[in-house]
Structure 1
C-alpha cells in the first residue's frame, strides 16, 4: 500500500518563516528564496509560485540562477551542489563536494561556474542541460602560483571568499578574493596572474577626501592609519563599475574599500598596479568595534554627468547600534581618489535582516533605476524602488522608510490571523459550480489580485501563469475556505493553483439587518462546513454561534431566523444578489469545534467544546435535539461523521402525499461522535437517542 502512495506538495503560497537567502534571475524576472530547512521558494509574476523541496532538510549557504536558462544552483551547508530544473521542479543533477565550499559564481550567459573552497582552490564546473549532468572540469586555478605571486606560504593558503568574473573580459579574467585580504586577477586564457593586491597596498599616506552630507560618521579616505596596520579579513565584495575597473570590498572590521583595478582593455597593467591612488576607504562609523559588512551590492549611477554608483550594504555600524540597511550614492568625477558621498539613506528593516538582491527596472513599470528586494525574518519580502528611497532621503531621518511594496500572500494567514480552513470539492456539473463559475467570470475578483497592496504593479513577471478562469467552458471544481480571528470568512476558487477570491463574509454583513444587535458575531471563526447541494455554508465561532449563509442569494425578499435555546425570531429582509445570512443559532456559549452536514444538506450536526452535540434542521431553521455532554470529563468533540439512509416506504408515501414538504423527511441516519478523551458515541440522527 505504501509503495503506491506518493504524497507531494503541488501548491504553496507565501514566504517560509525560515527564509534566509535570496537569488534572482534578472532576465526571466524571478526571485528564489532559500530556507534553513532545505526548501526553495521561487516567485515570479502574480500568482506564479513554486516550492522546491530538497531531500535533505539542511540550510542553503549559496543560491544562484543560471541566468535565463531555467536552472537554479544551490549549495547546502554540507557542501552538496544541486542543480534544480525549474520546469520540472526537481533536482536535475547534484555533486557532493569533499571540501568546504566558500565561494561560488556562475559565468553570466553560460553553463559554467566557478567554485572556491576553504583550501584556496578555485575550480570550474559545467552543467550539461541535454545530459542533465553537473561535471567538475579538469581546469583549476593553481594555488601554488597564486602563493608565489602573493609571497605567502602555500601550505597555509587562505580560503576563497569571493569569485567574480571580470566584466568586459569575454570570460578570460576572474577576480579571486581570499579571506586574508588578498585580491588576485587571474587570466584564464593565459594561465597567469595579472594583478595581486592585499593589505600591504593599504599602507598609504593620505587625508580624508569627503564626508557625508547627512552628518553621519561617514569618512572617505585613501589611507590607513598606523594603528590600522593589521590584517583585514574580507567578508563581502562586488563590482562597482560596468567595466570591472572599480571593486567594492567589505571587511570584517566594518570598513569598505574601493579598489581601482586594471581592465582587460588597459594598456599598461603594471603601471596601474603600481599607482598609489588605487584604493580608498569608506568608514561608516568611528566606533572601535563595528559589524562586518556581510552583504554588498551595487547599481549604476543614474546621473550620467559623473562617474559613480550606488552601494547597498548591511553592516559597518557600531556593534549594538540599531539594525539598518545602508544605501550610499557615490561619485568619483576625476578618479577613485576623488570619491565622495552625495547621499546617504538608512533603512530600518521590519524584522531581522536576512538578505537582499537588486533588480534593474525594465519596461514601462519604472523609468530606469533599481528595485531593492529585502528579505527579513520571519518570512517577509519587501520591495523598495528609487522613488521610495528618494522620498525618504528628503524626509526627516527619524522617520522610517516605508517600502513601495511588500509581497502579500493571496491567502492571508497573519493579517488577519487565520484560525480554520477547509478545502471542498464541488460537482462541476451541479448548479453550485455553475453559479460560482458565473461569479468568478463576471465579478473579476473585486478584491485586489496582485501580491502588492498598492497602485503599482508587482515588479516580477517571470514564470508561466496557471490557467485563469477565462474560458467559456470553465467550471469551478474546488473551493478553499478560511475563517479568521476577526470573524470573517473568505472563499477562493481553488480549481487551479492561481486561487481566485469569490466571497468575503465579514461580521459587517449582520449589520445589514435593521434593529438587530448580534452579540458575538465577530468572534474568531472555529469551524466551517460547505454544502454544494444547498449552495450554503455554515460558520461556527468561539462564542458558540452557528451562522448559515446562502451563497447564491436572489433579490427576492428573504428571512433571517435567529434561534436561541429558548426562542426563535424571524426577521424579513431584502438583499441584492450575493451571500445571504439565513439563520443564526446561539444555543450556548461553548465554542463550536466541528460542523458536519448530511449529504443533501438538510441537517447540520454541531460539536461543541463542552462535549455536547446539537442537530439542526437547515430547512426549517430549528433545533432537532441537543445532547448532554457525551464525555464524563466534559472533553470537547474531536470528530463527527454522519451516515444517511432512506426509508423506501416513506419515499413512496411522500411521493403520493401532496402535503409532504420534502422527500428528505424520510431520510434517516446515524451520527458517530468521538470526544477528545476517546469516548465514542453513536446517535440516531433524528432523535439523538443512542
Structure 2
C-alpha cells in the first residue's frame, strides 16, 4: 500500500486504483445527497430538489420520481417552475441557467434539458454586473427577469434564452425616476427580491439590499411607488390582492407597506420584531397569506434571538394568536407553502408547509390544530442517524408484513391524518414480485425497518437487551412473524456497560416459536 503514498503521477498506481476502487452507479433512489435548492409547481403538484453535485430530482405521488443531471458538476442554487407549464429553470453556482422539460416518450414521461444560457455583460464589465441573484419567471411563460449583484434587472426571452438588452432595468434608470432625497442615500447595491404583481403582469416589484423597494411599470418604464427601509432587505412577499407588501430584514424584523399611488411611503404600516427586543438573526424569507377566517398566516425563516438560539435552524408560523417555532436538527435549505392553486382565487388559504433541510423533508399540516407533521410516503432519510449495522431480508410472508405495518402505524400517532399533498403524476411501475425489508441499526439506538420504496415502516427505540424475538403464534404479542428471529446485538464499552447503538442485526428464518428473553426484550 506504500505505492499510494508516493508523490507524482504513477501510471501503474492509477491502474491499480481503478481496479480496486472503480464502481458503476446503477440506480439512485430516495432522499438526495447534499440538497441545495427547492422548487414546487402548484399546477403539477410536483416537488423539485437540486443538489450540490448538479442533480435535479422531481417527486410527485409515491412512485413518481424523475432525475436529471447537469453536464456541469456545479451546485443547483435555484429552481423555478414556469407557471402552468411542464417546464422548469435551474440556476447553477457557475451563473448558468438551464431549461428542463417533462416530455412523454412511448407513454412514459422523461425529464430532459432543452437549453442552457449564461448571462454576458458588456466588454470590460465587472463579473458582478451579470452575477444572478434572483430569477423571476413571468406569468406569460415567455420571459425571465434576472436580478443581479450590480442592481440591474435583465430580461431574457424563452425558450431560446435570448437576452433583450434594450429592455434591461438598470439601477441608473430606476435612480433617475426617484425623488432627490432618495438618490443620496445609496439605496441600491444588489437585487434581493423580484415579485410579479399578483393581479397585473405589467408590474414587478424590485427589492434592493440596502432597503429600497420599488414597483416598476414594464410598459411605461417608470416607478409607480417605492418604499425605503432603514434596515438591510432580505426578502419580500406580495399579498394576493396586491394591496400590501411585507418585507423582512437583517435585524430580525418584518414590515408591512400599503401599496398606494404615493410616490414615497415614509413609514411602514406596521413593523414587528417577533423575537425581540434583544438582537435577532435575519429573517431570510417570509410568507404573508390570507385566509377565510380573516387572520393571515405569517411564516418566516430565521429571526431567532442571537444569544440563545443563534445556532438553531427554525421556521416560525404565526396565526390567530398562536406562534410556533419549528426547530430542525439540520440546516434549512429552503421552504415553501402550499396554497390554493387557482391564481384567480381571492384568498390564499394555505394548507401545508414544506421544509427542505439537509437531512430531511418535512411537511406540516396547517389546517389541523397544533400543526402536526404529515407522515411522508417516501424521502425518509436513511442517514438521519449514522448507520452502525444493516441486514436485508427478502420474501417476507404477507402475515408478517401486515403486522409490521400495523405495529409501525401505532408508533406514528403523532402524525397528521392529511393525505400526502405532493401527489402529481401517476406511477406506472408494477407491484414488486416480493416483499423485502432493509433493517438498519443507528447510533441513536434505534432499529428501522425500510421497504423497497424507502418508507420507514417500523422503529424500535433504545434497545436495552441483546435480543428481540418476533413470534408467530402468541396473539398477545404486538408484532409476530412466521418462523423469524430478529436479534440486534449491542456493542459494549470498556467499562462493560452497553452503549447506545446496535453492533449487528441478524434475521434467522425458520426458528419456530420464540418467547421473550428477559425484561424489556420485547419489540415495543
Match of 1:465 among 416, 427, 430: 427
Q: Residue 60 of structure 2 corresponds to which residue in structure 1?
A: 44
| Corresponding position: 1:137 with 2:160 | no
Secondary structure of 1:321 counterpart: helix
Instruction: Provide the C-alpha distance between the structure 2 equivalents of 1:445 and 1:91, rounded to a whole number of angstroms.
Output: 44
Q: Residue 146 of structure 1 corresponds to which residue in structure 2?
A: 174
Pairs within 5 Å for 1:265-280? 269=261, 272-273=262-263, 279-280=269-270
Q: Residue 93 of structure 1 corresponds to which residue in structure 2?
A: 115
Secondary structure of 1:108 counterpart: coil
Matched residues, number: 432
Secondary structure of 1:141 counterpart: coil
Can you list the C-alpha shifts for 1:111-139, whole angstroms capped at 9, x where unaligned? 422111111111122332xxxx4332332
Query: Quick check: 1:481–1:489 contact (8 Å CA) kept in 2?
Result: no
Instruction: Provide the C-alpha distance between the structure 2 equivalents of 1:279 and 1:136, rounded to a whole number of angstroms.
Output: 38
Q: Residue 522 of structure 1 corresponds to which residue in structure 2?
A: 487
Q: Residue 494 of structure 2 corresponds to which residue in structure 1?
A: none
Q: Residue 121 of structure 1 corresponds to which residue in structure 2?
A: 152
Distance change in 2, residues 1:77/1:320 (3 Å): farther
Q: Residue 70 of structure 1 corresponds to which residue in structure 2?
A: 86
Match of 2:362 among 378, 382, 399: 382
Distance change in 2, residues 1:54/1:418 (3 Å): farther
Can you list the C-alpha shifts for 1:220-270, whole angstroms capped at 9, x where unaligned? xxxxxxxxxxx421111111x2221111111112221111113xxxxxx2x
Instruction: Provide the C-alpha distance between the structure 1 equivalents of 2:457 and 2:306, rounded to a whole number of angstroms.
Output: 50
Q: Residue 447 of structure 1 corresponds to which residue in structure 2?
A: 405
| Corresponding position: 1:261 with 2:259 | yes
Distance change in 2, residues 1:403/1:321 (3 Å): farther
Instruction: Provide the C-alpha distance between the structure 1 equivalents of 2:456 and 2:39, rounded to a whole number of angstroms.
Output: 30
Query: Quick check: 1:416–1:484 contact (8 Å CA) kept in 2?
Result: no
Instruction: Provide the C-alpha distance between the structure 2 equivalents of 1:459 and 1:312, rounded to a whole number of angstroms.
Output: 19
Secondary structure of 2:308 counterpart: coil
| Corresponding position: 1:313 with 2:297 | no
Instruction: Provide the C-alpha distance between the structure 1 equivalents of 2:428 and 2:341, rounded to a whole number of angstroms.
Output: 24
Q: Residue 325 of structure 2 corresponds to which residue in structure 1?
A: 347
Query: Quick check: 2:80–2:137 contact (8 Å CA) kept in 1?
Result: yes
Pairs within 5 Å for 1:219-618? 231-239=230-238, 241-262=239-260, 269=261, 272-273=262-263, 279-287=269-277, 289-304=279-294, 309-322=296-309, 323=312, 324-329=314-319, 342-351=320-329, 352-360=331-339, 369-376=350-357, 378-388=358-368, 390-391=369-370, 402-406=372-376, 408-409=378-379, 419-420=389-390, 447=405, 455-469=417-431, 476=433, 482-485=438-441, 508-509=469-470, 522-523=487-488, 547-549=508-510
Distance change in 2, residues 1:85/1:509 (3 Å): same
Query: Quick check: 2:486–2:506 contact (8 Å CA) kept in 1?
Result: yes
Instruction: Provide the C-alpha distance between the structure 2 equivalents of 1:457 and 1:72, rounded to a whole number of angstroms.
Output: 26
How far apart are 1:480 and its partner, in Å? 5.7
Secondary structure of 2:176 counterpart: helix
| Corresponding position: 1:107 with 2:69 | no
Instruction: Provide the C-alpha distance between the structure 2 equivalents of 1:111 and 1:6, rounded to a whole number of angstroms.
Output: 43
Query: Quick check: 1:236–1:294 contact (8 Å CA) kept in 2?
Result: yes
Query: Quick check: 1:94–1:134 contact (8 Å CA) kept in 2?
Result: yes
Query: Quick check: 1:485–1:524 contact (8 Å CA) kept in 2?
Result: no
Instruction: Provide the C-alpha distance between the structure 2 equivalents of 1:310 and 1:179, rounded to a whole number of angstroms.
Output: 25
Indicate the structure (1 or 2) with the bigger Cα radius of gyration.
1
Instruction: Provide the C-alpha distance between the structure 2 equivalents of 1:292 and 1:548, rounded to a whole number of angstroms.
Output: 56
Can you list the C-alpha shifts for 1:66-93, whole angstroms capped at 9, x where unaligned? 1331222111222111222244323221
Query: Quick check: 1:161–1:234 contact (8 Å CA) kept in 2?
Result: yes
Q: Residue 172 of structure 1 corresponds to which residue in structure 2?
A: 202
Return the TM-score normalized by structure 1: 0.54
Query: Quick check: 2:231–2:251 contact (8 Å CA) kept in 1?
Result: yes
Q: Residue 12 of structure 1 corresponds to which residue in structure 2?
A: 29
Query: Quick check: 1:418–1:482 contact (8 Å CA) kept in 2?
Result: no
Query: Quick check: 1:144–1:154 contact (8 Å CA) kept in 2?
Result: no
Query: Quick check: 2:53–2:73 contact (8 Å CA) kept in 1?
Result: yes
Distance change in 2, residues 1:247/1:481 (3 Å): same
Distance change in 2, residues 1:94/1:146 (3 Å): same
Distance change in 2, residues 1:102/1:491 (3 Å): closer
Distance change in 2, residues 1:27/1:154 (3 Å): same
Q: Which has the higher contact order (CA 8 A, sep 6+)?
A: 2
Return the TM-score normalized by structure 2: 0.69
Instruction: Provide the C-alpha distance between the structure 2 equivalents of 1:173 and 1:415, rounded to a whole number of angstroms.
Output: 48
Q: Residue 219 of structure 1 corresponds to which residue in structure 2?
A: none
Query: Quick check: 1:488–1:522 contact (8 Å CA) kept in 2?
Result: no
